[in-house]
Amino acid sequence: MAELKDRLSTFHGGLVLKHHKELSAGSEVTEVDRPRSLTISLRVNRGHVSEPVVAVGDRVNKYQIIAQPIHPFGVVVHAPYSGTIRAIEERPTAAPDAESAPCIILDTDDRDDATDYMPPLTEFNRQTLINRMREAGILGMGGAGFPTHAKYDHHTQDMETLLIINGAECEPYITCDERLMLDQPEALIKGTDLLMQAATASRAVIAIEDNLGGVKSLLDKTIKQLGLETIDVVKVPTIYPTGGEKQLIKVLTGLEVPSGQTPLSLGIIMQNVATTKAVYDAVEHNRPLTQRLVTVTGDQVGRPGNYLTAIGTPFYHLLALADCPMSEIDKLVVGGPMMGYPMPSADIAVDKTTNCLLLLTADSSKPDLTTLPCIRCGDCVKACPQDLLPQQLFWYIQGDDLEKARDHHVFDCIECGACSWVCPSHIDLVSYYRYAKSELTYQDYKKAKAQLAKQRHENREQRLEDIKAERQAKRRAKTDKLKNKSQAKQEISAVLDRLKNKPKDDGESS
């Protein structure tokens, strides 16, 4: 099992940024009222789509299952409210580039008939907890969107594991995790204990940034009250991107996750605080994941804060509640200013990984500057928290030598944007890395598909050869049998002829 170091370690690169968290951190959580219609995406961030189990015109109850995964890394989808299915169709989603995906359009009503789709657990053990995570449709709510149960399914039961709860909200503007820790400390600690049981972990650590004020003392007090001293709260430096999975592991343990592998290779499982709270809700209150806390912020937002929002709520509904003057907004971003991505429309809806809506005016958003040639200054290399060679990757990708980019670990890029932020030539380096990764993934898919087709063709040819050989063997056996039968007849006939033509002796004649 990986062990925490007595002294925190550091990772390569990183940035010290202005936080802008005071805009939304201080206000109490506001619960968003019921929208008239929800647009519920059936796609998770890794691209796996769930299959609807309802039809247009069906009336559904609150918490009813409306889609089931068709891939091991898919998730179950539930209805946040009761209502009627108006449509099942492709819509733009809160994913990078507002990628279209199948969505269920649910017209809500005020009946809120809640069917007991997740009955109370009668037995608490590792497997029942993992099953509950799967049934509740819980995934990584810090942005990755990886199904939570899969981490524990792939975990060897006899492997002792260090559980890390990630509360290091390093991206500027976003405060939903900080607000959750302040308002729901008991739920967070109990959820951590449940995840420890699922991971067979003897120890857990909740990592928070060192600028979060009274969060540590509040969590420490709750841990003591609940008698869960195997959980520690550790402050980590407020350096972007400390909240990245690999960077936080390096800071806490001094270990580096090997290229192409997951933290589980080091005996570590990491979860976001919102995911941990969702596990608590699923186990203790039998509630599936149908709502989440979303930070709505920006300099021109009238009521910046954190909003408890149903999955599928259109952005415009949430923005109206936060008193956002849309006519003055230049850019609507899902996420923070570093790793977030702009949305083309406020008609797009909140999904399970939407943690922030950031509204930027033309003055506050980074202006579109003329891109200049790379001067190979090396600033991007110094800033990269993954210790990559961003400028070299850029040259390979620009020259369409994607395999070289693969060899230089482009897939290890976490798309934090630090290289683009410091680039004096204003090159959007991250967009090149995203392109390379998507193109390489597509090429790998085509190769795998072609290889599968080739293998199927070869298998078919081999089956035909086997059938041909089997038929030939049968024909030969039949021919041999006929030959043997004919030969036997000839031999019998020859014997009879010899007997017939044999001369009689004296005794026979008398």
For residue 79, pLDDT over 60 is answered with yes
Domain boundaries, the chain: 22-321, 373-498
For residue 212, pLDDT over 90 is answered with no
Q: What is the pLDDT of residue 496?
A: 74
Q: What is the pLDDT of residue 510?
A: 40
* Average confidence score pLDDT of the chain: 90
Closest to 277 measured CA to CA, from 136, 169, 406, 158: 136
Superfamily of domain covering 22-321: NADH-ubiquinone oxidoreductase 51kDa subunit (3.40.50.11540)
Instruction: Identify any residues that bridge with 165 across adjacent strands, giving them in sequence order.
Output: 206, 271
Q: What is the mean pLDDT of residues 391-397?
A: 96
What confidence category does residue 7 fall into, taking pLDDT thresholds of 50, 70 and 90? confident
Tens-digit pLDDT profile for residues 339-383: 998 999 999 999 999 999 999 887 665 566 788 999 999 999 999
Geometric angle at alpha carbon 336, from 385 and 320, rounded to 5°: 175
Lowest mean pLDDT among 53-57, 192-196, 277-281, 478-482: 478-482
Cα–Cα distance, 179 to 442 (Å, whole number):
39
Q: What is the pLDDT of residue 366?
A: 53
% of the chain residues with pLDDT over 70: 95
Q: What is the pLDDT of residue 139?
A: 94
Q: What is the mean pLDDT of residues 207-228?
A: 92
Q: Are 330 and 299 in contact (CB under 8 A)?
A: no
Cα–Cα distance, 29 to 249 (Å, whole number):
30
Q: Which CATH number does 373-498 carry?
A: 1.10.1060
Tens-digit pLDDT profile for residues 134-153: 999 999 998 778 899 988 88
Q: What is the mean pLDDT of residues 414-431?
A: 94
Q: What is the pLDDT of residue 500?
A: 74
Cα–Cα distance, 85 to 102 (Å, whole number):
14
Tens-digit pLDDT profile for residues 252-277: 999 999 988 889 888 999 999 999 99
Tens-digit pLDDT profile for residues 9-20: 999 999 999 988
Biggest alpha carbon–alpha carbon distance for the chain: 141
For residue 334, pLDDT over 90 is answered with yes
What confidence category does residue 155 fall into, taking pLDDT thresholds of 50, 70 and 90? low
For residue 44, pLDDT over 90 is answered with no
Q: What is the pLDDT of residue 509?
A: 46
Lowest mean pLDDT among 144-153, 197-206, 495-504: 495-504
pLDDT, greater one: 364 or 236:
236
Closest to 107 measured CA to CA, from 193, 36, 189, 187: 36
Closest to 401 measured CA to CA, from 440, 457, 347, 448: 440
Q: What is the mean pLDDT of residues 288-303?
A: 93
Q: What is the pLDDT of residue 108?
A: 96
353: which residues sit within 8 A by CB, 6+ positions away?
44, 45, 94, 139, 140, 141, 142, 143, 144, 145
